[in-house]
Chain A
Amino acid sequence: MKVSALTRSRLIIASTFVVALVLSVVPVPTWAEQFRPDWVGLVLIYWCMATPHRVGMGSAWLVGLLQDVLYGALLGQYALSKTIIAFLAVKLHLRIRVVPPWQQAIAVLVMLAIGQLFVIWVRAVIGKPIQGFSYWTPGIVSMVVWPWVFIILRDIRRRGQVR
């Protein structure tokens, strides 16, 4: 089947998001829950950085909404958080692109933490506050796994000629 370059790019990007969404609900023991990286956020940041004309706040909003449904969260909660992350990633993409992955990881942590802040804020408003500091561990784990996510997604982008 012959597909145009645009369709192929879109399919590849969409399938990475699908994988990220599945990874975000794969069951883990309760104690490990707090160490689960924000897979959706990582993939989102990568595509916003590499192909900002293709993936931006619109895609982020939709993926966030799907995450809301998947999580059974308030509709719009993760949509808001992911929109903010996408905004930051698109805004800063030229600056982050040029540095090596381990330095990018720091920027990734900051972006995810800001996104997280909105989730915490929303949950406090609706009366489901989060107790303790464990809410920050996903961001830190995400930072640690970023270089690998970056390398894998870069390979996917190059092989699939996503542009």
Chain B
Amino acid sequence: MIGADSRPIRTSTLMLRLLLFAALAVALMVTDHQGQHLRQIRSALTVLTYPLITIAAIPARIGGWMSDTFTTEEKLRLRYLSLEERHRIVQARLQQYEALEAENRRLRSLLGSATRVSDRAVVAELVEVSTEPFTRMIVINKGSFDNVFLGQPVLDVYGVVGQVTEVNPHISRVTLITDPGHAIPVQVTRTGLRTVLYGTGDDDTVDLPFLTASAKIEKGDMLTSSGMGGRFPPRYPVARVTEVISDPNEAFLQIKATPMARLQHHKEVLLVWPGKTEPLPVEEQ
């Protein structure tokens, strides 16, 4: 490398410095993994990274703006028509829903149990940036200024998306249900069977480990959030079972499912403030 600086550096302390910085990093990791002590530091550092995230999101924004601006009238008309049709269908279903909700409230009051308060939801827009490779996270443009809280459930119109795992003043990070470190308590709607659903890191597969061969579950079963653990509100669709393999050599069934939420095609998600809920009654088998 011609012209490079060849001033000598102190190589004698190299090893020492390596040990020092490596130890510092390990100490940081241990503390961060143990609990939430470093939340303040992370939040403070986000002040530095927030501009970077804003810059990184520009290309996607321009792309979105372009596709919004340069669409043909024909396309818009078709979209309008299909949306109108969808709206009509949804509206029709909603009529039924309102009647059912009223009926449900009446039945609950007859049983003497607390009525279920409906959940409040706010739309959050996605900040289109990548996160750590091989994790499944998204960044949204709402933060502690909008009363976002740690562990808050996030949905889209099709099902459960994930939960908020990092809150900063203006942006938050949501860990998706497909993240390899994520688990959500679910219930099979058909049989009432309760279990826990784990992410795999794969976008359209989630796992249901630890179910024995006697478990009442089969392909096509719908999994909804059970509300156990108190983090996710109950009865939101989570995933549909796609595969149940029973291997006599294995202690547990190998069950795969596909998330209901369209995790790949998000532009917006719903932040939910759960209303007061009653735990699900134990259903007799």
Q: Does B173 interact with chain A (Cβ within 8 Å)?
A: yes
Please tell me if the beta carbons of B38 and A66 are within 8 angstroms of each other in the complex: no
Complex Cα distance A18/B137, Å? 22
Contact B5 A53 (CB under 8 A): yes
B25 A79 Cβ-Cβ under 8 A: yes
Say whether A70 contacts B25, CB under 8 Å: no
Per-position 1/0 for A64-81, Cβ under 8 A of B: 111001111111110110
Query: Do A69 and B18 touch across chains, with their CB atoms under 8 A apart?
Result: no
Which A108-145 residues have a C-beta within 8 angstroms of B?
Answer: 122-123, 126-131, 134-135, 138
Tell me the complex Cα distance, A91–B21, Å: 15
Contact with A along B264-276 (1 / 0, CB 8 A): 1000000000000
Is B111 part of the binding interface, using a Cβ–Cβ cutoff of 8 Å? no
Does B245 lie at the interface of the complex (its beta carbon under 8 Å from any beta carbon of A)? no
B contact residues around A18 at 8 Å (CB): 52
User: Are A25 and B52 in contact, CB atoms less than 8 angstroms apart?
Assistant: yes
Q: Which residues of B contact A71 (CB under 8 A)?
A: 131-132, 135
The 8 A CB mask of B104-132 against A (1 = contact, 0 = none) is 00000000000000000000000011111
Checking B18, B55, B128, B132 against A73 with a beta-carbon cut-off of 8 angstroms, the contacting residue is B132
Segment at the interface with A among B27-35, B142-150, B230-238: B27-35
Per CB-CB distance, the 9 closest pairs between chain A and chain B, nearest first, are A76-B28, A80-B25, A71-B132, A76-B29, A76-B25, A75-B32, A79-B25, A69-B45, A27-B128
Shortest CB-to-CB span from B242 to chain A, Å, is: 18
Asked if B224 lies at the interface with its beta carbon under 8 angstroms from chain A, I say no
Binds A, one of B56-64, B82-90, B92-100: B56-64
